[in-house]
C-alpha cells in the first residue's frame, strides 16, 4: 500500500499531528513498507469470522453508583500548564471581530 504525500497529509490532519517537512518523506516510506508487509492478512479467508474487539472473560463489571471522595479539582488541575479560577485556561477561541 503506497502512502502518497497527499494521503499522509490527510492522515496527519485526522490525527491532529502535523509532521515537520524533514520528517515526512522517511515516515511516508516507513508506513508504505509496513503496510506492504501487512498485506499478508489479505490471504486469509475471513468470511463469517466475528471480529475480536477485546478478550475480556466476562461482561465489564460496574462499581456501585455511590458518591465517594474524589481527588478534588485543585489536585486534578495540578498537572495543567495554565489554570484560572479552577478551570483549564486556553487561548481565545472566539475571533477578535466577534469580541467587538
Which whole-number Å values give the CA distances from 65 to 45, 61, 62, 68, in the listed order?
Answer: 45, 12, 8, 9
**φ and ψ at residue 91, rounded to 5 degrees:** -65, 165
Residue 61 near other proteins by CB under 8 A: yes
- Out of 5, 21, 22, 63, the only residue in the binding site for other proteins (CB under 8 A) is 63
CA dist., res. 92 & res. 99, Å (int):
10
Minimum CB–partner distance for residue 86 and other proteins (Å): 14
CB closer to other proteins out of 17 and 100 = 17
CA dist., res. 17 & res. 9, Å (int):
9
- Out of 75, 84, 86, 98, the only residue in the binding site for other proteins (CB under 8 A) is 75
Minimum CB–partner distance for residue 99 and other proteins (Å): 14
Count of residues engaged in binding other proteins, rule: CB under 8 A: 55
Residue 91 near other proteins by CB under 8 A: yes
Amino acid at each position: 500500500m503506497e502512502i502518497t504525500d497527499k494521503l499522509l497529509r490527510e492522515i496527519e490532519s485526522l490525527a491532529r499531528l502535523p509532521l515537520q517537512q524533514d520528517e515526512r518523506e522517511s515516515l511516508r516510506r516507513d508506513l508504505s513498507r509496513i503496510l506492504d508487509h501487512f498485506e499478508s492478512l489479505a490471504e486469509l479467508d475471513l468470511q463469517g469470522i466475528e471480529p475480536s474487539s477485546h478478550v475480556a472473560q466476562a461482561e465489564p463489571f460496574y462499581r456501585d453508583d455511590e458518591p465517594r471522595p474524589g481527588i478534588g479539582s485543585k489536585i486534578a488541575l495540578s498537572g495543567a500548564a495554565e489554570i484560572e479560577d479552577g478551570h483549564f485556561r486556553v487561548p481565545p477561541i472566539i475571533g477578535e471581530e466577534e469580541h467587538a
